Structure 1
């Protein structure tokens, strides 16, 4: 028996601020897994046609998205994972809002994607702390955020 082999893409969706104040009413918290999936589907069809969607479509799922951190974990079959990776990179909008997708990590197991997501969150918080020039022993709200985000990410199942 042959098992289904996956690749897991850890993607950071960096929002581009709207030029007009009236367009900022909708935030990233409005975005759902379904909207990300639809935008990714449209990107695959636009850039690789129906053949590309046929290769990727049956295995493509959005396993996790955090509007707070803008991190997304995407599962795709191993063979067409580069096609999905290219489509994520070429994606520009999700539900009318502009984003810059940044593929942070690609792995073969969900566990490695989870560890990379937790590590990425810690690096981002460390950058915020360095920018704020806080002392090492300073307690802030980031500690609680890191704990809750790590618990959310570790709760994912394959």
Structure 2
């Protein structure tokens, strides 16, 4: 019996402003979801690698998790086709008309290591949000509940 081996891509979708002085809209991050990301990734593979690229990648490609707050996504792909999926992610520039910059943060062979990297990245993003808000060290905010919720969601993912 041969085991199906996967790679797990941890990707952050950074919104790209249209103008130099404009800031990313809050609405843009709320409208993205796993289905839209999968559809955009499929189109990118088809456009850049053709039908044979999609035929190789398509059977194993899955979006397992997406957080609209931190714009973090966990994608599963077969081990032998990870470079094709990564290339299609890199060449992706918009999802449903929303311009994004995909940033591959981590690639791992197990979902457990992708979960650990995602939880750590969430903590870093929340620390950035707190630094921007200039909150004192002892201040409790809604981010604690968010971190706990996302940690539980990420840990609940199964292979």
Give the TM-score of the pair, scaled to structure 1: 0.90
Aligned-residue offset at 1:137: 2.3
Misfit runs of 4+, over 4 Å = none
Give the 3-state SS of the residue equivalent to 2:73 in structure 1: strand
Q: Distance in 2 between matches of 1:30 and 1:136?
A: 32
Q: Distance in 1 between matches of 2:75 and 2:26?
A: 27
Q: Distance in 1 between matches of 2:84 and 2:139?
A: 44
Equivalent positions of 1:1-158 (< 5 A) are: 1-17=1-17, 27-158=28-159
Unaligned runs of 5+ in 2: none
CA RMSD of aligned residues (A): 1.9
Aligned-residue offset at 1:136: 2.6
Aligned-residue offset at 1:18: 5.0
Number of residue pairs matched? 155
Per-residue CA deviation, residues 47-77 of structure 1 (Å, 9 max, x unaligned), is: 1111211111110011111112211110000
More displaced 10-residue stretch of structure 1: 107-116 or 124-133: 124-133
Cα 1:25–1:132 shift into 2, 3 Å: closer
Instruction: State whether residues 7 and 78 of structure 2, in contact with CA within 8 Å, keep that contact through their aligned partners in structure 1.
Output: yes
Cα 1:157–1:53 shift into 2, 3 Å: same
Q: Distance in 2 between matches of 1:132 and 1:26?
A: 20
Per-residue CA deviation, residues 85-125 of structure 1 (Å, 9 max, x unaligned), is: 11111101111111111101100011111111000010111
Aligned-residue offset at 1:138: 2.3
Q: Distance in 2 between matches of 1:132 and 1:34?
A: 32
Unaligned runs of 5+ in 1: none
